[in-house]
Amino acid sequence: MDPTYRILYVDDEPDLLEVGKLFLEQSGEFTVDVTASAPAALTLLDTNNYDAIISDYQMPGMDGIGFLNTIRASGNTIPFILFTGRGREEIVIQALNEGADFYLQKGGEPVSQFTELAHKIRQAVGRRNAEAALRNAARDWETTFAATSDGICLLDPHQKIIRCNHTMMEIARVKTGEDLTGHVCWEVMHGTSTHIAECPVVSMMASHKREYAEIPMGNRWFDVTADPVLDGSGNLTGIVHTMRDITRQKLAESELRSAYEQMTAQEEELRGQYNEIALREREVHESEEKFRGVFNNANDEIYIHGILADGSPGTFIEVNGTMCSMLGYSRDELLRMTVNDIVSGEHRKNMARIGEIVERDGTSTFSAEHGGKTVLSFPWKSTCIAFRSRERRSLLQLPGT
């Protein structure tokens, strides 16, 4: 297996260095560099990366405590295990105070001694890695806390402020650098003497689960969330209070709602217009049915004919059955004829004058003589009424009175 840990072992006893290196490397878990003095070890540290240091205490030139002090003074936090035959209490205390991770006394059965040393290395490196991970996580959290576009406020169980990020300070319109610690959140955020009715923090304290609400503040809207921080027993130990500006979203929703309401109103107006048109169409249809009933069942001839551009009569548009019977023509025959085909020549002379009266007054009553296929002529008094049908000028001829 590939070595997991790289170790620097410093001791002025060559035999002990050799035994320690052999024992630690036999499992394949460690690779060990050895040196007989602290100054030489410092040189190795300048050019190599190690996971931990094992150092004797009593060495010529610089002892283990001096070596440790030099390392820590440079800012290096590498795990350091003091492995020495000196067991005086003051040395142990001094080593730990200067930043040693463990103190292990030499002597005793070698296998047990180096097994314990390997265990201390794993502990020291594991603890240092965990601390480094924790520092990195804390740094990442601090970066996120400071940089996020959401306002974040950490509260204690009594809703008093512990920390606020920059965005929350801006939302609350608080000057940068002002200390809000100890203030209750509603006092800072809303300027009130107690929490507002829709505050999600209040409902969260009762439910011990995430609660949220959309809350207006001035001319802005915020999505406000309250998350509980619970201990292992489920007791509330803190609150994470976040606020997200949703003003644009609310404005868009308002515009969409207004557009929908306008569309609904237009739809209602169109529906009303449609209903009115439908009613008019029914009325027209009913009127047409009534007219057709009168038209077809009348005992006198009734007909409709067009008017040409020069004012002269055009072909018949519609004729009733009585007219067909009186003149002896079929309906199809009459629909190919004009008024000039059924009136006397004397009456044709008056057609222009009658046309002028109808054009001026919209109606005219006159006497004429009609003739047909089976009857030579008979007197006819008629009232004509001008109207338009599908943009076409027409005359309705009714019996006159």
**What pLDDT, on a 0 to 100 scale, did the predictor assign at position 87?**
63
What phi and psi values does residue 262 have, to the nearest 5 degrees?
A: -65, -45
Tokens at residue 368, please? 């004429």
Query: Quick one: angle between helices 14-25 and 110-147, nearest 10?
Result: 70
Q: What is the 3-state secondary structure (H, E, C) of the chain?
A: CCCCEEEEEECCCHHHHHHHHHHHHCCCCEEEEEECCHHHHHHHHHHCCCCEEEECCCCCCCCHHHHHHHHHHCCCCCCEEEEECCCCHHHHHHHHHCCCCEEEECCCCHHHHHHHHHHHHHHHHHHHHHHHHHHHHHHHHHHHHHHCCCEEEEECCCCEEEEECHHHHHHCCCCCCCCCCCCEHHHHHCCCCCCCCCCHHHHHHHHCCCEEEEEEECCEEEEEEEEEEECCCCCEEEEEEEEEECHHHHHHHHHHHHHHHHHHHHHHHHHHHHHHHHHHHHHHHHHHHHHHHHHHHCCCCCEEEEECCCCCEEEEEEECHHHHHHHCCCHHHHCCCEHHHCECHHHHCCHHHHHHHHHHHCEEEEEEEECCCCCCCEEEEEEEEEEEECCEEEEEEEECC
Give pTM, 2 decimals. 0.49
Is residue 1 over pLDDT 60?
no
**What pLDDT, on a 0 to 100 scale, did the predictor assign at position 63?**
92
CATH architecture of 149-245: 2-Layer Sandwich (3.30)
CA distance 166 to 173: 10
Summarised one tens digit per residue, pLDDT across range 164-208 is: 888 888 888 877 667 778 888 888 888 788 888 888 988 998 899
Is residue 57 over pLDDT 80?
yes
Mean pLDDT (whole number) for 226-253: 90
**What pLDDT, on a 0 to 100 scale, did the predictor assign at position 401?**
60
**What pLDDT, on a 0 to 100 scale, did the predictor assign at position 3?**
62
Tokens at residue 90, please? 């003051």
Name the superfamily (CATH) of residues 298-399.
PAS domain (3.30.450.20)
Mean pLDDT (whole number) for 32-44: 95
End-to-end CA distance of the chain: 126
Mean pLDDT (whole number) for 244-254: 89
Beta-ladder partners of 54: 9, 81
Q: Do domains 5-145 and 149-245 have the same CATH topology?
A: no
Domain ranges of the chain: 5-145, 149-245, 249-297, 298-399
**What pLDDT, on a 0 to 100 scale, did the predictor assign at position 65?**
93
- Cβ atoms of 353 and 386 closer than 8 Å: no
Residue keyed to tokens 């994470």: 240
Is residue 242 over pLDDT 70?
yes
Q: Which CATH number fits domain 5-145: 3.40.50.2300, 1.10.3720.10, 3.30.300.30, 3.10.20.30?
A: 3.40.50.2300
**What pLDDT, on a 0 to 100 scale, did the predictor assign at position 86?**
65
CA distance 62 to 35: 13
**What pLDDT, on a 0 to 100 scale, did the predictor assign at position 390?**
64
Give the number of other Cβ atoms within 10 Å of residue 17's Cβ: 19
Summarised one tens digit per residue, pLDDT across range 77-112 is: 999 999 887 667 888 888 888 889 998 888 778 888
Is residue 395 over pLDDT 80?
no
Is residue 282 over pLDDT 80?
yes
Give the number of other Cβ atoms within 10 Å of residue 109's Cβ: 8
**What pLDDT, on a 0 to 100 scale, did the predictor assign at position 118?**
92
Is residue 48 over pLDDT 80?
yes
What phi and psi values does residue 326 have, to the nearest 5 degrees?
A: -65, -35
CA distance 147 to 173: 17
Contacts 24+ apart (CB under 8 A), 190-198: 190/217, 195/159
Mean pLDDT (whole number) for 132-161: 85
Task: Report the share of the chain in percent with pLDDT over 70.
Answer: 97
Mean pLDDT (whole number) for 238-243: 90
HSE value, Cβ hemisphere, 13 Å, CA-based, for 56: 22
**CA distances, 88 to each of 45, 80, 92, 104 (Å):** 28, 18, 7, 12
- Supply angle C-alpha 381, 358, 348, rounded to 5: 55
Summarised one tens digit per residue, pLDDT across range 294-313 is: 888 888 888 888 888 877 88
Is residue 337 over pLDDT 80?
yes
- Cβ atoms of 113 and 107 closer than 8 Å: yes
CA distance 267 to 289: 32
**CA distances, 182 to each of 164, 175, 235 (Å):** 11, 16, 21
User: pLDDT grade, residue 368 (50/70/90)?
Assistant: confident
More confident residue, 176 or 243: 243
**What pLDDT, on a 0 to 100 scale, did the predictor assign at position 37?**
94
The pLDDT mean for the chain works out to 87
